[in-house]
Amino acid sequence: MVYDGECPMCRSYVRWQRVRRDVGELELIDARQDSEARRELTAMGFDLDEGFALQVGERWYHGSEALHRLTLLGTRSGLFNRLMYRLFASPERTARLYPLFRACRTGLLKVLRKGAIDNLGRK
């Protein structure tokens, strides 16, 4: 999973999210650091300021699709994971809610005076 390591909301999410044991370990990659995953996502045109990315097998998911997929891979244990499942198990609901979470992240980063990830060189 490639996420914004400087966003407190994103860091909290990845700290609390638990995937099922049969899925394996969730590798966390900071989108602000150079990595093979970041380079691959950039080449594919994924804007990491628009959402995190999750690789399952050979396929990458981005934004609301990544959140939905990660939710399906998650456990149902603990209040946080049960809440995430209730909110994001539906791809349609996830697509509707994701822009709100992205706007909260953008606002939080502005308040904290953190710049964009800008992996596509657009900002």
For the chain, domain boundaries:
2-111
Both structure tokens of 80: 């946080």
SS3 99: helix
Taking 80 as the threshold, does the pLDDT of residue 10 lie above it?
yes
Pair 50, 102: CB distance under 8 Å:
yes
**DSSP secondary structure letter of residue 74:** B
Among 102, 117, 109, CA closest to 33 = 117
Taking 70 as the threshold, does the pLDDT of residue 3 lie above it?
yes
Return the percent helix, strand and coil in the chain, to nearest 5: 45, 10, 40
d(C-alpha 43, C-alpha 48), whole Å: 12
Pair 72, 61: CB distance under 8 Å:
no
Return the half-sphere exposure (C-beta side, CA atoms, 13 A cut-off) of residue 59.
6
Mean pLDDT of 2-23: 88
pTM greater than 0.95: no
- Give the pLDDT band (50/70/90) at residue 123: low
